[in-house]
Amino acid sequence: MNRRINCWLNTDNNSGNHRTGKDQMTASVEFMGTQRNLTGKSSVEISLTDFPVVSDVLEYISALFPSLYMNRYNTMVTVNGEISPVDRILKAGDKIVFLPVIGGG
């Protein structure tokens, strides 16, 4: 990952101000169900100094919480409630949710 990512943990999903500085943006990653149990958090707020893309956030969250076993092949992404590709550029205030792909028969 070439971009510098600063992260702080936030359990309040209503953080309000999504711009923390002239060039910084804030987006939140929300954890659901088992993800919430494994991370112990309801959300993680991420401040990025560049225009981030979803794949950067996925890579960072995967490194931060390796027990989630997430990658671009086994995870569906939603941004603001809509299915999103991993190359999507994020904006301040976006809410990202990574959903595991479930299969079976």
CATH number of the domain where residue 91 is located: 3.10.20.30
Q: Which domain holds residue 25?
A: 5-100
80 has a pLDDT exceeding 90: yes
Total of domains in the chain: 1
* Confidence band of 74 (pLDDT split at 50, 70, 90): confident
Tokens of 30: 């929300």
Q: Which residue has the tokens 């600063």?
A: 6
pLDDT at residue 69, rounded to an integer = 87
Phi-psi region of 15 (alpha: psi -120 to 50; beta: other; left: phi over 0): alpha
Cβ neighbors of 91 (< 8 A, separation 6 or more) are 25, 27
Q: Summarize the confidence of residues 52-58 as an average pLDDT.
A: 90
Tokens of 9: 């943990």
Cβ pair 60, 94 in contact under 8 A: no
Q: Is residue 25 part of a domain?
A: yes
pLDDT tens digit sequence for 22-52: 456 789 999 988 899 999 999 998 876 656 8
Of all residues in the chain, the percent with pLDDT exceeding 70 is 71
Tokens of 37: 């149990």
